[in-house]
């Protein structure tokens, strides 16, 4: 009997301790959920596309040599200003002068042969006329007359052959003189030398392709920027669009330009497709130099005073506990606010929901049996609609909005129950009980 009494006393003590601990836990305040918010505001939005590009002259000419030889002299250097037709380099002309002299001598010899052939043709013609006269008098045989006539025709043909040799010699002389002229490298355009690739004494070989001696930029006061624009952004650009860009040499200065063309040739690098947007740039002070890297900004939309929401709020996806708590709160309000006849209660909430209806983030009202077509028509214009979570009476609630242009950090709000000053949720970290407690306090 004493042992049973001790056992009952132990059970009673454990029960009292458990009840006390439960009472102590119930007196503690439930911790608040950890929710990060940001306020909706008003202000300007500039929608833009950014890209990088390289500055270059609008017209760049590579000056080469069409003949091989040793560079005898240079008359231009880096940054030299040159005019069209100006002598900028000289190839040693000795071999080409000798070739021209030989071609000239060959022409002289060909002309002498032509004169000799002409004299022989005249003599052969005379002999043929004399033989014809003697044949008419029956003083020579017919065979002698035929021979004289054949010799005259051969002499005439030799004259034509000699005349052809003269033309060949004249053409060879012309070619030699052209090659000799090519030893003088002339500037093909007005501009500035931006590259020199040879030195005096260097031998250039033009047997396979013309070697590049100089690179001349036609006019550095007018330049262009070749930018690589991603395929996802190229549809926002158009010719004539104003642009701005900066270069590392002048980080605090903004340069202006305009889009001249968007080239249709795609450039694929590591499966990334880009397009070349060419920008015309005025460079009157010659600050910009070929090869500089430009950080270009294309502004395709701009508004001065709109309701703005952080893009972090648009990207926020609530955890399952928040969704469950929000659904429970909506159900409690709907059940508690309905009167006996289904009219609005004190809180202004409507009666029991019709079949197929849902909250702001759910199906379109009336999309129950027979309402599918109406739901599809209602959802069609909401392709740019988003659901954001807003603190209402201290608890997060979903709100459906429509967004407009974006600058990557904030977006324009063009529709929905959202006003400047509303706190939208950007991040949340709490357990189900925490969310439930916060939502109960917001009821």
Only one residue has tokens 């009821």, namely 443
The residue with greater pLDDT, 15 or 375, is 15
Any idea where the domains of the chain sit in the sequence? 34-43+308-339+350-442, 48-58+215-304, 66-91+183-214, 93-182
> What CA–CA distances, in Å, run from 400 to 72, 413, 415?
79, 11, 9
- Among residues 185, 171, 153, the alpha carbon closest in space to that of 64 is found at 185
Helix 94-136 vs helix 142-181: crossing angle, to nearest 10: 160
Please name the fold of domain 66-91+183-214. Answer: OB fold (Dihydrolipoamide Acetyltransferase, E2P) (2.40.50)
- Contact call for residues 103 and 176 (beta carbons, < 8 A): yes
Q: What integer is the mean pLDDT of 420-434?
A: 75
Q: Distance (Å, rounded) from C-alpha 111 to C-alpha 114?
A: 5
Say what the pLDDT of residue 55 is: 96
Torsion sign over Cα 175, 179, 182, 188: positive
Q: What was the pLDDT predicted at 384?
A: 72
Band of the pLDDT at 61, cuts 50, 70, 90? Answer: very high
Whole-model pTM: value is 0.64
Q: What is the mean pLDDT of residues 50-58?
A: 94
How far apart CA 385 and CA 155 sit, in angstroms, is 100
**Do residues 233 and 406 lie in contact, with contact meaning Cβ atoms separated by under 8 Å?**
no
Report d(CA 404, CA 387) in Å as an integer: 14
Instruction: Report how far residue 169's alpha carbon sits from residue 102's, in angstroms, rounded to the nearest whole number.
Output: 10
- CATH number of the domain located at residue range(s) 48-58+215-304 in this protein: 2.40.30.170
């Amino acid at each position: 009997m004493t042992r049973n009494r001790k056992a009952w006393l132990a059970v009673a003590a454990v029960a009292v301790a458990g009840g006390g601990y439960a009472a102590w836990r119930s007196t503690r305040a439930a911790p608040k959920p950890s929710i990060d918010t940001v306020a909706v505001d008003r202000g300007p939005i500039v929608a833009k596309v950014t890209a990088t590009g390289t500055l270059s002259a609008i017209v760049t000419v590579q000056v080469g040599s069409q003949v091989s030889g040793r560079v005898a002299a240079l008359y231009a250097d880096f940054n030299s200003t040159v005019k069209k037709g100006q002598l900028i380099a000289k190839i040693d002309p000795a071999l080409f002068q000798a070739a021209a002299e030989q071609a000239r001598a060959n022409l002289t010899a060909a002309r002498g042969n032509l004169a000799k052939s002409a004299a022989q043709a005249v003599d052969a013609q005379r002999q043929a006329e004399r033989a014809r006269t003697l044949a008419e008098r029956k003083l020579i045989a017919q065979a002698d007359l035929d021979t004289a006539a054949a010799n005259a025709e051969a002499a005439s043909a030799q004259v034509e052959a000699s005349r052809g040799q003269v033309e060949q010699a004249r053409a060879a002389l012309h070619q030699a003189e052209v090659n000799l002229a090519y030893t003088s490298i002339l500037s093909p355009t007005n501009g500035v030398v931006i590259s020199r690739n040879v030195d005096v004494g260097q031998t250039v070989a033009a047997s396979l392709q013309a070697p590049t001696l100089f690179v001349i930029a036609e006019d550095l006061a007018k330049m262009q920027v070749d930018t690589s624009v991603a395929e996802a952004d190229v549809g926002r650009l158009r010719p004539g669009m104003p642009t701005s860009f900066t270069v590392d040499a002048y980080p605090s200065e903004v340069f202006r330009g305009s889009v001249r063309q968007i080239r249709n040739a795609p450039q694929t690098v590591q499966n990334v497709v880009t397009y070349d947007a060419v920008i015309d740039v005025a460079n009157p002070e010659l600050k910009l130099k070929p090869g500089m890297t430009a950080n270009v900004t294309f502004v395709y939309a701009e508004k001065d005073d709109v309701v703005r929401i952080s893009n972090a709020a648009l990207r926020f996806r609530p955890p399952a506990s928040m969704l469950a708590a929000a659904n429970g709160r909506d159900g409690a309000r709907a059940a508690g606010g309905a009167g006996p006849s289904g009219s609005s209660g004190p809180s202004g909430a409507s009666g029991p929901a019709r079949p197929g209806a849902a909250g702001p983030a759910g199906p379109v009202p009336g999309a129950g049996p027979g309402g599918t077509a109406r739901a599809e028509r209602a959802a069609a214009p909401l392709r740019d609609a988003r659901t954001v979570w807003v603190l209402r009476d201290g608890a997060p609630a979903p709100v459906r909005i429509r967004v407009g242009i974006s600058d990557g950090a904030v977006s324009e709000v063009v529709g929905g129950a959202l006003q400047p000053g509303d706190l939208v949720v950007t991040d949340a970290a709490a357990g189900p009980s925490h969310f439930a407690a916060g939502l109960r306090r917001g009821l």
